[in-house]
Amino acid sequence: MPRLAAIILTLNEEQHVRECIESVRWADEIVVLDSVSTDRTVELAESAGARVVQHVFENYGAQRDIALRIVDTEWVFFIDADERASPALAAEICEKLDHKERGWWVPRHNYLFGKLTLGAGWFPDYQLRVVHRLSARYDPTRHVHEEVILSGESGYLDQPLIHYNYRDVSHFIEKQEKYTDFEAGIRFRKGLRPKTWTYFSVPLRQFWWRFVSLHGYRDGLHGLRLSALMAYYEFQTWRRINRLTRTGTHL
């Protein structure tokens, strides 16, 4: 049985997919699970030697569950198209596969608006990305910021993934609009409803948490802007929950 497959989830990632594939050449198999891209993602991935499987996107957790079923390796390493695995991270992952743990949390170096961001909750930003394939599945109730249900223990790696996150503010807003809809739907289905003061108190707590508790101030004006943006989208999440409450519909 091949030991490890690197799996890349894509949707219109022609700008990133080739470099991502190059960073995981050390894996036994490289698979791109594509959500029916309309750009050159599939063409570029195939020309780079990856196996491409297309599946219409439902949600992030469901897509990763499908990924676990389309390979037959013992282990899976999930990497997004806008991420890169360094040689040091590759060596650490390979060394850990013989340990007792059934999953490994990977830290990330997030580059936001082109700047490495170490405050406001963006580091170490651990992600459970290396999993023993038969020991992992994804929580079906988490449609965004998906969660692994792991049969067994997990550990933490030292070497970070490199994540080229948001290019600029407009890219940040584009992604947050999607995440906010998903998150509002999750909270709505859990029965969470806003009070009058929620729209003020929760965003303020979000800002304080990111800028002060998580040391966003260490990134200066960059950290201030990020903390304010995250507080704003916390406000937007509760506005959308209120809209769902009034209309009785689901996102």
Reported as a single tens digit per residue, the pLDDT across 35-71 is 999 999 999 999 999 999 999 998 888 999 999 999 9
Share of the chain above pLDDT 70, in %: 97
The pLDDT score that the predictor gives to residue 1 is 61
Average pLDDT across the chain, whole number: 94
pLDDT at 250: 53
**Reported pTM:** 0.86
Percent share of the chain, pLDDT over 90: 85
Q: Measured between alpha carbons, how far is 195 from 83 in angstroms, rounded to an integer?
A: 39
The predicted-structure confidence for 76-135, as pLDDT tens digits, reads as follows 999 999 999 999 999 999 999 999 999 999 999 999 999 999 999 999 999 999 999 999
Q: Please name each of the domains of the chain with its CATH number.
A: 4-164 (3.90.550.10), 169-247 (no CATH)
Cross-strand partners of 117? 110
Q: Residue 26 contacts by C-beta under 8 Å, 6 or more apart in sequence?
A: 87, 90, 94
CA–CA distance, 71 with 92 (Å, rounded to integer): 22
Helix-helix angle 220-247:169-189, to 10 degrees: 40
The reported pLDDT for the residue numbered 90 is 98
Does residue 251 have a pLDDT over 60? no
For position 214, what pLDDT does the model report? 96
Q: Is the pLDDT of residue 141 over 80?
A: no
Contact 31, 51 (CB under 8 A): yes
Whole-number pLDDT of residue 29:
97
